[in-house]
Amino acid sequence: MTTIELVPKPATIKRMIDESRDVKSYVLEMNESLTMPALPGQFVEVSVQGYGEATFAVTRKSKGDREFTISVKRIGHLTKMLHRAATGDIVGVRGPYGNSFPVDDWKGKDILVIGGGIGLAPLRPVIDHILLNRKDYGSMEIIFGARTPDDILYKEDLKMWESDKSILLHKTIDVPFEGWNGRVGVVPAVIRDLGVKPDRRVSIVCGPPIMIKFTAAALRELRWPDDRIFTTLEMKMQCGIGQCGRCNIGEKFICKDGPVFSLDQIPEHAL
Amino acid sequence: MKELRKKIKELFENGEVDAVLGYREDPATGGVKAAVFKKDETLDDMVFDGRCIQNLVNYLPTLVARYRKVGVVLKGCDGRSLVTQLVEHRISKSQIIALGIGCEGVEIDGREAEKCGDCATHMSPVADYEFGEKEEKKEPTFARVEEIEKMSPVERWKFFADYFAKCERCYACRQICPSCYCEICIADQQEPKWIEPSAKLSANTMWHLIRAYHLAGRCADCGECERVCPQDIPLRLLNNALEKAVHEMFGVRPGTVPEEVPPLVVLNKDDPDRILEGKNE
Amino acid sequence: MANVGVFICHCGVNIASKVDVKRVVDTLKVMPEVGFAHEYKFMCSSPGQELIRKAIRENKINRVVVAACSPRMHLPTFQTALATEGLNPYLVSMANIREQCSWVTDDPEKATQKAIDLVARQIKRVVHQDPLDDINVPMTKAALVIGGGIAGIQAALDIADGNRKVILVEKSPSIGGRMAQLDETFPTLDCSQCILTPKMVEAAQHPNVEIRVNSEVKKVDGYVGNFEVTVERKATYVDAQKCIGCSICQEKCPVKIVPDAFNAGLSTRAAIAIPFPQAVPAIPVIDPDYCRKLTEDKCGVCAKVCPAEAVVFDDTPKQDTINVGAIVVATGYREMDPGIYTEYGGNKFPDVVTGLQFERLVSSTGPTGGDLKRPSDGKVPKTVVFVQCVGSRDESKAHAYCSGICCMYTAKHTMLYKHHVPDGQAYVSYIDVRAPGKTYEEFVRRAIEEEDARYLRGRVAKIRRLQNGLYRVYTEDTLVGRAVHIDADMVVLASAVEPQRDAVRLAQMLGIAYDADGFYTEAHPKLKPVETASAGVFLAGACQGPKDIPASVQQGSAAASKVLSLFAKDTLIISPQIAVVDPTACTGCLTCSYVCHYTAIEEKEFGQRRVAEIISGKCQGCGACVATCKGKAITLAGFSDDEIYEEIVSCK
Amino acid sequence: MNKWHKIKKTDLQKYVSRLAEKWEVWIPRLVDGKWEFGIYDGARDLDLPESIIDVSLKNLFFPKRRAIATFDENSKWSLQPVSPERRPRIILGLHPCDAAGIEYMDKVFLQSEYKDVMYKNERERTILVGMLCNKMGDDCHCTDRGLTPDSTSSMDVAFVNEGEWYFFRSLTDKGKRIMESKYLKETDEGPTKNEWPAGKYSIASPEEFMEMYDDSIWHELSDICLTCGICTYACPTCVCFLVADEKFKGKGERVTVWDSCQLQSYSRMAGGQNTRKTPASRVRNRTLDKFAYSHLRYGRISCTGCGRCIMVCPLKRSFPQLGARLSERIREKEKERTKVPAESKEE
Amino acid sequence: MQIDKEPKILAILCKWCSYAGADLAGTSRFAYPANVRIIQVPCSGRVDPVMIFKAFVEGYDGVMVSGCHPGDCHYGTGNYHARRRMAVARRLLQFVGVHPERMHFTWISAAEGKKFAEVCGQFTDRLKMLSGTERTLARKELAT
C-alpha cells in the first residue's frame, strides 16, 4: 500500500434519485477503472472536497463493482453538500468497510427484513442478493415503516417487491395520514400484530436506534433467539478503519467488527 | 465553617437539600477537591479556605439533573457566575440553596490569586444563607487590562499572538467555564468552520476572540479558564478587557445583580453612537 | 458541487462600457462549480430570461448566478424565471456589478477585476443556497376588535360588511366609547349621539358582529392568522339573556350614591344601572362595591322587582378563548387627570372642570339635563374661561405632545356655551390655535367672530378661588404683552389626551410597540399607519395617538380593509426567509427571545429539555436572534451562516 | 544480548552533535518550565531529565494536526496524498513509558488491516534511543501497569545514567547503526540493576472492569470531572482523531486532528444523537478503554502509568486513584454477590 | 509608511438602508475605491461579530458594518442590538491589537449614497496611512 487509507478515490455522480422529502440516492461510478466490491451490509466513506466525509451504507451495486448507490438523508453538513450536487460532480469514496450480512450462512433459510425509514438502505442489497439467488433461499417477508407517506423510500422497488409473488411485503406509516389507506402503526407494533414467528427464519433489522431497540424487544417477545436477529448499527463512524476511536461498543469497533451484528454479539446497551 | 456545617446538617435533616456541593480536604495532595456531600456523609472534612479556588457552579447543571435540591458553597465570584446561569435558564433557582461565604481571597500555589487582588464581590449576589464577613464593595481597577491598553496596537498583537500561537485547543478553558455550555460549541461545528479544528494561529485567534466575545457581559471573572490553561494563556485578560468595556459602555457589572439580563441582549435605544467608535468614556 | 449557470448582463452599455464582460465569462467558466456561462445585452429582457430557462432545461444547471444590476431591482424577475422551469426560485443569486461596480469604478481594469471577484463570490455563495418553500399557514378568518368606541365600531362594521365574523370586545358595559359622552361635534355641530347611536345599533344587530361588553383581553397567544385570545367577562350580576332592559331595578335600587362614570363623575347613579339611556346593550350592571346585597348581604330589592328574574348575585368572572386571524386594537384614550395642575385647582375646585365634564354639563342626557349650571351651586355661569393645553405641550409637567383635539373642541365649547348662555362671555387662553382639518379653521373663526369667544394668547399661571365664589384666572395676553386676570364663574381645562391606563400591558400581550407616552406605534409612520410590529395586529383610533372622530373613523376603516385583504387569501403565505431553531443544538438559554422585536420566540419542550422555538407566522426574518445565538442553533434561511461565511472567505 | 557500551557524560554532547550531522536528532529540552522534545541544534547544553518528560512523544509520530492530503479548490476533484517526510531521525532520551506508548500506537496503527502509512513512515525513519529512569516522578505509576522504570521494550537503543557514565546498549539492528562511534566504548561492565518498589494501586482485571459497565459508580467518578479532555491530549496512548478539510485562498488540506472521547462533540452524530452525552458515559469510556477495551483489542491495557493525565488535570485528579477506586468497588460487588443466596440468583 | 497595495475592505450592509444607499451611490455615479466588497444582510442586527473576526483573519484590511440610522430600522430594533455588539467587538479587537482605524461601524440610510461613497473613500485613505504591521492578524498560509 502506498497511500494512506484515509485518502479517498474519486467517483462520479452518474444519477440522482429523489427518494423522499429529505432523502436522495446517488449512483456513483468509480473513476479510473477503480472498483467498489461492496458486500451486502458494507459501507463506504464518501467525501466532498473541502467538506470532509461521512459514512453511507452501499444500498445497491450495478455494473459489476464499478457502480454503486448510496442514499443520503439531509441531516448534517456533508449530506447538505451532497444534496446540492448535480450529476457529473465528483466525490471521494473509500471502502468498502466493515463486515457484511452472512448471506451465505442463510442459504435455505426464510428471511424477514425489517426496515425503518432510511434504515432500509443497508438492507436493500440483501434483498437484491436474495432475489438474484432466489432458489437458494426460502420465503422472504419485508416489513417497511416510514414516518409519513412522504418518507417512503425506494418507491419503485417497493412496487416491484409488492408484485413479486415470492415476497410478502408490509408497508406501514407511524401515524394516520390523510390519503393513506394502508397499514398504520410503528414497526414494533406491526410485528406484534403480525405475530411473526421465528420458525426457520432469520431477521435483519435496521432503522433509527429507537426503532431497532423496540423491534428487538418485540421479536424477543415472539421468542426469536438473539442469534437470529441481525442488525446493522449506525453509530457515529468516521475513519471506517478502527482507528479514530469514536464508534466503539465496548472493545468492538462498529466500523471494523461490525456494522452487522446479531444481537447475541453485542451488549444490551448498544441497542 | 462551623456555622456552615451546622446549617448544612440542618438542611439535610429538614430535607431541604439532597446534596451539597462544597470543598473537601484531600489528604493525598494536601489540597482540596470539589466534592458532593450527601445526607449521611460526614461533613468533618468539608473545608473552606484559601485553597478553595475552584468555581463549583460548573457542576450544578449536572447535579440538579440528579438531585431534587442541591446546596452549593459559593464565593463571591462563583455567585456571580451563578447569576448568569439562573438568568439563562441553565438552572432553576428553586433547585438551589445558595450558601454564600464571605471570601477573603483564594490562592494559587500558595500565593493570592491575581483575580482576588481586583475583586469587588466578596459575597455571592445570590445567597440564601450568608456566612462570614461581607466585605465592603469596591470598584475593580483592571490594572492589568490598562497596562495592555497602554501598548500600541502592534505591541498588543505581538503580545497576544505569541500566546495564541501556543494554544493547543484542548478546550479546558471552555469546559471549566460555567458560562460555556452550548450543545454544540461553535468550535466543534463543521460547516461553516468559523473556527478550524486544528491548532494554528489563525484558528486559535478565532477561538480566543469568539470565546471572549461570547463571554462579554456574562463572564463573572472567576478566572478558572486562566487557571486551568495548560499553556498559561492570559485568558482573564481578555475577559477583563470586555468586562471593563461593558461597564464603561453599558454600566453593567455582569453577575452582580440577580436576574439582570446580559447586556448584549438588552435593548437600549439611548446608547450613544460614540461607543461604535471605541472611545473610552 | 452543484452545477451553476452564470449569466453576465451588459445592461446595454451601463455595465459593458466599464466591465470587460467577455473576460468575466472566460475567467469564470473554468470554475469547477460552473456548468454554463453566458453573457447577454439585457438579462432582464424576455430573451435574457429565456437564456436562463434554456440552460436549466438543456445544461441541467441547478443553481443560477445573474451578474447584473442590484438584486433590489431584478431578483424577483430571475426568481420567476427559475420557477417557470421548475427550479426553486431561491436557487438564484445576483452579483451587483452595475450599482456596486461599473457605476462606481472609474478604471475599467479595476472594474473588470472587481466584477470577476463579485461574480465568483456569488457562485461560491449560490452553491450554499438551498431550495426554500413558501410557508402556508392556515387562517381563522374572524377578527377581534378590542375597544368599542367609534374607531372599533367602524372597524367591526366594515369587517362584518366584508362578510367576516367580528368579535367586538369592550370593557365597559356599553359600546360607544368617548363619543357617546359628547354633546355636539365639531365642525358641524351635529349631535354626537344622533350619529353614533345608529352605528351602535347596527353593530349590535349585525349578524357578523358579536359584541362582548364588560369584557377584557387577558392573554394573546399565537400569531397572524391564528391568534388565540383569552377574554374575560367580568361579573355583572345580571343575566343578559334574561334581562329585558326595563330598568325597574335601577329605579327601585335604594343605593343611589354610585359616581356616574358616564357623566364623568359629575352625578351619581344607582348601584344597579344601565350606563346611559342609549347604551348598547341596554342591560344594567351591578356595581359590587356599592350593592348592599353583595357587600352586606342585605337588600336584594332589584332581584325582587325584576320581572325577568335576571339578577344573579352569585355571578363570577368567566374566561374563554376565541380564535381569530386578525386583531384590531381600538382602545382609545382617556382624559388626563388634571390633579397634577394644583395651580389650576384641578380636582379641587368644584367649578374647575375638564373638557369632557363640560360636555356632560351641556348635554341633554347629562346631570343637569342640558341646562348649563355650575356644579358647586347650580348657578348659570356668566363668565367661563377655557384653558388650553393642560398637560399637552408641557414637557416639564406632563406631555410634550399636542393632544390635537382640544383647540377644536374648545372652539366648539365656546359656541355651545354661547348657545346655552347667550349673555355669557367665554374666554379662551391658548398658546396657538391648531385647526388644520377641513373647515376647521373656519369653525374656529366662527367661534371668535360670530359667537364672541375672546381668545387670549398666553399660558394661565394660576387660578384662585375667591370669597365670592368666583375663580380668578391669572393669565397673560402676549399679543399685547400684559398680564391679565379674569374673574370667572367656571373654568374648563382642556386636559390632555392620554393612553389608557393599561395600554402598556395590552401592548406587551399583543407584542406591539408603544412609544414613551404609551401610545401604540405603527409599523411605519408614513407607509404603514395602521399596521404594527406584530403581523395581523392593526391599530385604529386614539390608542395610536390623539385624534378626532373623523380620523378615528378613517383609521377604523383602514384597519378593517387591512384585515379584509389579509382574509382575502385562503392561506397565509409567509416568506420562507425566516429563522428556524435546531432544537438539538439549542441550549434553551432563551437569550434570543430578548432581542426578538416580534415576540416570535417561545419556549417548548424538546425531550427532557426546554428549547426555543420560533413561531414562523410571527418571524419577519431580521436575524437578530441568529446573531445572538452563540451555539449557532438558529439558522436564517436565505442569510444563513453558510452563505455569509462563503461570501466572506471567497473574496480574493 | 548485545554488549554494553559506555560513554563519559561529558562526551555525550559531542556524540549527539556527531549524530545530528546525519540524523534529525530529537532530545528533551526545557521550554517554559516544561520538558518536551525538540530538534537538537547544539545551541544549548544537553540536559536529560531523569524521569518523566512533560509532553509525550505522541506528537512526533501522530501529530495533533496532520495533513493527509491536499487539494485545490479550483478543480472538482484534486485530493492528493501528501508525500511523507523521509529524513531519518533519532529520538534520544525518551523513557520506558514513552516507549510503551509507542508500542501501543504500533498496535493501533500498524497491527490493523489498514496500516496507517504515515505513521508507519514516522516509525521507520526513527531510531528510539531510550533512557532508563533513575527515579520515579511524583505521579509516575508505571509499576502499577506492568512496566518498570528500566523496561526497554520497543526501544532500539537503551541507555542508563550511572555516575559519570552512560551505558548504551543496542536492542535492534536499527539501533546498531548509531553504536559505531569513537565516544562509545564497548565494555563488559554494566549498570547496576535497580530494585523498584511494587505498585501502589493494584487494579482489577479487564474482564472485571467490563462487568462494571452498568454500575452506578460512574456518576460518582464523573461528579467532579470537567470532561475537558486535556488528559487525553497528554496521554501517550489516546490516539482518537477527527478528519476535517481546511481551506484557505483556494488551497485545501484534509487533516486528521486529535479528538477526545471526553468531549461531547466527539460522539455527536449529525441530527443530534449522542451515545455519550453524559459526563459519566464519557468518563466510563475513557476508563474502560484504558483498562479493558485496549486489553481485549490488543492484548495490553493502554495505560502506561506515565502519570501525565494527573500532571495536566486542572483538578489534579488522579487517574490511578480512580482506577483503584473502581477496583475497590469491583471487589465490594464481588463480596455482595457471594453473599447472595443461590436461589435468588436465578431471577 | 504607506504601502501601495489598495486596502481590502469588507462592508456588511443591511438590505433596507445601507445596501440601498450603496446602490444609490451607483445610481448617482459617486465613485469609490474598487476594493470594497459588499455583503448584504437583512439587518445590521444579523451581523454576528464572528463574521468580523473571520474577515480580519482572512486578510481584510478593514471591516465596515452599516445599518439603518437609529430609529429607522426596518425591523424596529435590530440596529440597536447591532450597536451593542459592534461596540463590544470593536473593544475586543482593539484590545488584541487590531488597529482602531481598521473598523468602521456606522449608519447609512437609503438616501445617503454620497455618504456611502465618502465613507468608503475616507476609510480607504485611513487604511492607507497604516503600516503593513499595523494591518496584520491575517493568516498567510493554510497551516498558519
**Which of A53-57, B40-44, C144-148, C347-351 has the weakest average pLDDT?**
B40-44
What's the confidence (pLDDT) of residue B72? 94
Q: Does E74 touch chain C (CB under 8 A)?
A: yes
Nearest-angstrom CA–CA distance, B86 and C591: 12
Nearest-angstrom CA–CA distance, C173 and C234: 10
**CB-CB: which of B176, B185, B196 is closest to D314?**
B176
Per residue in C77-114, pLDDT (tens digit) is 999 999 999 999 999 999 999 999 999 999 999 999 99
Residues C394 and C358 in one domain: yes
Residues D255 and D159 in one domain: no
Please state the ipTM of this predicted complex: 0.91
Question: Which residue range is the domain that position D57 belongs to?
Answer: 4-61+83-187
**CB-CB: which of E19, E26, E47 is closest to C98?**
E26
Residue that terminates a domain, selected from C474, C498, C522: C498
D341 belongs to a structural domain: no
**CB-CB: which of B168, B176, B184 is closest to D233?**
B168
C82 belongs to a structural domain: yes
Average pLDDT rounded to a whole number, residues E49-77: 91
**C268 vs B166, C348, D139, CA distance in Å?**
84, 18, 91
CA neighbor of C5 nearest in space, from C64, C77, C78, C84: C64
What's the confidence (pLDDT) of residue C61? 93
**Which of B24-33, C13-22, C543-552 has the weakest average pLDDT?**
B24-33
Region of residue D33 (phi > 0: left; psi between -120 and 50: alpha; otherwise: beta): left
Q: Which chains touch C (3 or more CB pairs under 8 A)?
A: A, B, D, E
CA neighbor of C333 nearest in space, from C314, C308, C309, C354: C354
* Nearest-Cα residue of chain B relative to residue C627: B265
CB contact under 8 A, C584 and D272: yes
Q: What separation, in Å, do the N-terminal and C-terminal C-alpha atoms of chain C show?
A: 20
Chain E: nearest CA to C241, how far in angstroms?
A: 46
**pLDDT greater at residue C417 or residue A241:** C417
CB contact under 8 A, A76 and D79: no
**Which of C170-174, C320-324, D113-117 has the weakest average pLDDT?**
D113-117
Residues C474 and C545 in one domain: no
Restricting to E residues 76-105, those with a Cβ less than 8 Å away from any Cβ of B are 77, 80-81, 83-100, 103, 105
Nearest-angstrom CA–CA distance, A84 and A107: 41
CA neighbor of D270 nearest in space, from A82, C282, C173, C295: A82
Chain D: nearest CA to B193, how far in angstroms?
A: 8
Chain C: nearest CA to A95, how far in angstroms?
A: 21
Chain C: nearest CA to D263, how far in angstroms?
A: 15
Q: Does A87 touch chain C (CB under 8 A)?
A: yes
What's the confidence (pLDDT) of residue A95? 81
The three-state DSSP-derived secondary structure of C247-269 is: CHHHHHCCCCCEECCCCCCCCEE
Domain boundaries, chain B: 2-131, 143-277
Nearest-angstrom CA–CA distance, D7 and D185: 6
Residues D47 and D178 in one domain: yes
Q: Which chains touch E (3 or more CB pairs under 8 A)?
A: B, C, D
Tell me phi and psi for residue A79, to 5 degrees: -65, -30
**Which residue type does C541 have?**
G
Q: Is the pLDDT of residue B75 over 80?
A: yes
C647 belongs to a structural domain: no
**Which of A96-105, A235-244, D275-284 has the weakest average pLDDT?**
A235-244
Nearest-angstrom CA–CA distance, C104 and C115: 12
User: Is the four-CA dihedral A253, A37, D269, B189 of positive or negative sign?
Assistant: positive
What's the confidence (pLDDT) of residue B114? 85
Average pLDDT rounded to a whole number, residues B42-67: 88
CB contact under 8 A, D272 and C649: no
Residues C485 and C339 in one domain: yes
Domains and CATH numbers, chain A: 9-97 (2.40.30.10), 110-270 (3.40.50.80)
Chain D: nearest CA to E4, how far in angstroms?
A: 22
Per residue in C615-624, pLDDT (tens digit) is 988 898 999 9
D-chain CB neighbours of C585 within 8 Å are 272
* Nearest-Cα residue of chain C relative to residue D247: C649
CB contact under 8 A, B182 and C630: yes
Q: Does B193 touch chain D (CB under 8 A)?
A: yes
What's the confidence (pLDDT) of residue E3? 44
In sequence order, what E strands does C139-183 have? 142-146, 165-169
Q: Which chains touch B (3 or more CB pairs under 8 A)?
A: A, C, D, E
Nearest-angstrom CA–CA distance, C79 and C64: 10
Q: Does C127 touch chain A (CB under 8 A)?
A: yes
Provide the pLDDT confidence category of residue B136 given band limits of 50, 70 and 90: low
What's the confidence (pLDDT) of residue B137? 67
Residues D114 and D39 in one domain: yes
D291: DSSP letter = I
D39: DSSP letter = E
What's the confidence (pLDDT) of residue D344? 44
Written as nine digits, the cell of E25 is 451611490
* Residue found by looking up cell 377574554 in the block: C231
Q: What separation, in Å, do the N-terminal and C-terminal C-alpha atoms of chain D show?
A: 58
Residues C109 and C172 in one domain: no
Residues C10 and C104 in one domain: yes
Nearest-angstrom CA–CA distance, D141 and D97: 10
Per residue in C544-592, pLDDT (tens digit) is 999 999 999 999 999 999 999 999 988 888 889 999 999 989 999 999 9
CB contact under 8 A, C62 and A84: yes
In which element (H, E) is residue C507 found?
helix C503-510
Do E and A make contact, counting contact as 3+ CB pairs within 8 angstroms?
no
The three-state DSSP-derived secondary structure of chain E is: CCCCCCCCEEEEEECCCHHHHHHHHHHCCCCCCCCEEEEEECCHHHCCHHHHHHHHHCCCCEEEEEECCCCCCCCCCHHHHHHHHHHHHHHHHHHCCCCHHHEEEEECCCCCHHHHHHHHHHHHHHHHCCCCHHHCCCCCCCCC
**Which residue type does D281 have?**
S
Using DSSP's 3-state secondary structure scheme, residue C494 falls into strand
What's the confidence (pLDDT) of residue D51? 85
Mean pLDDT score of chain C: 93
Restricting to B residues 63-122, those with a Cβ less than 8 Å away from any Cβ of C are 88-90
Nearest-angstrom CA–CA distance, C517 and C498: 8
Residues C432 and C323 in one domain: no
Chain A: nearest CA to D304, how far in angstroms?
A: 18
Average pLDDT rounded to a whole number, residues B237-254: 93
Average pLDDT rounded to a whole number, residues C185-214: 94
* Residue found by looking up cell 344597579 in the block: C272
Which parts of C370-457 fold into alpha helices (H)? 406-420, 440-449
Considering chain C, what percentage of its residues have pLDDT values greater than 70?
Answer: 100
What b/e sequence results for B176-185 when a residue is b if at least 16 CB atoms lie within 10 Å of its CB, and e otherwise?
A: bbbbbbbbbb
Average pLDDT rounded to a whole number, residues B192-221: 93
Q: What separation, in Å, do the N-terminal and C-terminal C-alpha atoms of chain A show?
A: 36
Q: Which stretches of chain D score pLDDT less than 70?
A: 1, 339-347
Provide the pLDDT confidence category of residue A246 given band limits of 50, 70 and 90: confident
The three-state DSSP-derived secondary structure of chain B is: CHHHHHHHHHHHHCCCCCEEEEEEEECCCCEEEEEEEECCCCCCCEECCCCCCCCHHHHHHHHHHHCCCEEEEECHHHHHHHHHHHHCCCCCHHHEEEEEECCCCCEECCEECHHHHCCCCCCCCCCCEEECCCCCCCCCCCHHHHHHHHCCHHHHHHHHHHHHHHCCCCCHHHHHCCCCCCCCCHHHCCCCCCCCCCCCHHHHHHHHHHHHHHHCCCCCCCCHHHHHCCCCCCHHHHHHHHHHHHHHHHCCCCCCCCCCCCHHHCCCCCCCHHHHHCCCC
C-chain CB neighbours of A88 within 8 Å are 3, 35
Using DSSP's 3-state secondary structure scheme, residue D275 falls into coil
Q: Does C275 touch chain A (CB under 8 A)?
A: no
Domain count, chain D: 2
Chain C: nearest CA to E105, how far in angstroms?
A: 16
Pairing status of strand C63-68 against strand C92-96: parallel
- The per-type count for chain D, helices as H runs and strands as E runs, is 13, 12
Restricting to C residues 20-79, those with a Cβ less than 8 Å away from any Cβ of D are 30-32
CB contact under 8 A, C584 and D271: yes
**CB-CB: which of D213, D243, D297 is closest to A239?**
D243
Residues D260 and D163 in one domain: no
CB contact under 8 A, A86 and C127: no
CA neighbor of E113 nearest in space, from E27, E6, E7: E27
**pLDDT greater at residue D328 or residue C330:** C330
CA neighbor of A87 nearest in space, from C120, C35, D73: C35
What b/e sequence results for C354-381 when a residue is b if at least 16 CB atoms lie within 10 Å of its CB, and e otherwise?
A: bbbbbbbbbbebbbbeeebbbbeeeeeb
Domain boundaries, chain E: 9-135
Considering chain C, what percentage of its residues have pLDDT values greater than 90?
Answer: 86
Question: Which residue range is the domain that position C292 belongs to?
Answer: 248-305
Average pLDDT rounded to a whole number, residues B253-274: 90
Q: Does C118 touch chain E (CB under 8 A)?
A: yes
Nearest-angstrom CA–CA distance, A219 and D29: 62
Q: Does C585 touch chain D (CB under 8 A)?
A: yes
**CB-CB: which of E23, E60, E78 is closest to C624?**
E78
Pairing status of strand C579-581 against strand C142-146: unpaired
In terms of C-beta density within 10 A (0-12 exposed, 13-18 middle, 19 or more buried), how is residue E132 classed?
exposed
A149 close to A119: Cβ distance less than 8 angstroms: no
Q: Is the pLDDT of residue E2 over 70?
A: no
Q: Is the pLDDT of residue C126 over 80?
A: yes
E-chain CB neighbours of C70 within 8 Å are 19, 23, 26
Architecture of the domain made up of E9-135: 3-Layer(aba) Sandwich (3.40)
CB contact under 8 A, E81 and B267: yes
Residues C322 and C342 in one domain: no
Nearest-angstrom CA–CA distance, D139 and D307: 5
D142 belongs to a structural domain: yes
Nearest-angstrom CA–CA distance, B179 and B74: 16
D-chain CB neighbours of A271 within 8 Å are none
- The per-type count for chain A, helices as H runs and strands as E runs, is 6, 15
Q: Does B182 touch chain D (CB under 8 A)?
A: no
Q: Does E53 touch chain B (CB under 8 A)?
A: yes
What's the confidence (pLDDT) of residue D340? 57
Per residue in A195-233, pLDDT (tens digit) is 888 888 899 999 988 899 999 999 999 989 999 999 998
Domain count, chain C: 5
D-chain CB neighbours of E139 within 8 Å are 248
Q: Which chains touch A (3 or more CB pairs under 8 A)?
A: B, C, D
C532 close to C426: Cβ distance less than 8 angstroms: no
Written as nine digits, the cell of D139 is 505521579
Provide the pLDDT confidence category of residue B279 given band limits of 50, 70 and 90: low
B-chain CB neighbours of E49 within 8 Å are 213
Q: Is the pLDDT of residue A188 over 60?
A: yes
Cis preceding-peptide flag for C187 (omega within 30 of 0): yes
